[in-house]
Amino acid sequence: MPETPEPSIFTRIVRREIPATIVAETDRVIAFTDIAPKAPVHLLVVPKTEQYANVVELAAGDPGLLAEVVEVANQLAAEHSDGDFRLIFNTGAGAGQTVFHVHAHVLSGDLQEGSLA
Ligand code: 5GP
């Protein structure tokens, strides 16, 4: 029997198997605070499906879902800060990606020049 892959940490948040501070949710997207914030506002916006490992796969496979991620990020930056934000998709381990379930970092609020997630 082939082994069933372990669900990603973000799928476990979607399923409420582990706690998170959820700040937005739609049918296809969930957003919550990052457990190790790198900015005054540091949120993660995540497609509920874990079928896309990174933003390149998401853009190719479901551009509408990518657009929804961007729209939720925009709304959250307006709600949680002054509306200006950085949207970061770490892509590949060499770029700092540690969770291979695509997610956008939304950084906002008193960002230091040059600071990145
Ligand atoms: P990456 O390094 O893959 O771009 O980003 C993964 C992000 O997920 C990191 O910023 C990390 O702090 C966050 N993270 C990892 N595990 C958890 C968790 O269990 N809960 C929350 N809220 N964030 C997490």
**Domains in the chain: boundaries:** 9-108
Q: What is the ipTM of this complex?
A: 0.99
pLDDT tens-place string over residues 64-73: 999 999 999 9
> How much is the pLDDT for 57?
98
**Facing residues of 24 across strands?**
31
**Given the CA of residue 88, which atom of ligand 1 is nearest to it?**
4
Pick from 44, 52, 97 the residue to mutate for probing ligand 1's pocket: most ligand atoms within 8 Å of its CB. 44
Residue 63 burial (C-beta neighbours within 10 Å; 0-12, 13-18, 19+): exposed
Any atom of ligand 1 within 6 Å of the Cβ of 19:
no
Q: Catalytic site residues?
A: 103
| Cα–Cα nearest to 77, from 68, 67, 69, 85 | 85
Residue 115 has pLDDT above 80, yes or no: no
Task: Supply the CATH classification number for the domain 9-108.
Answer: 3.30.428.10
Mean pLDDT of the chain: 94
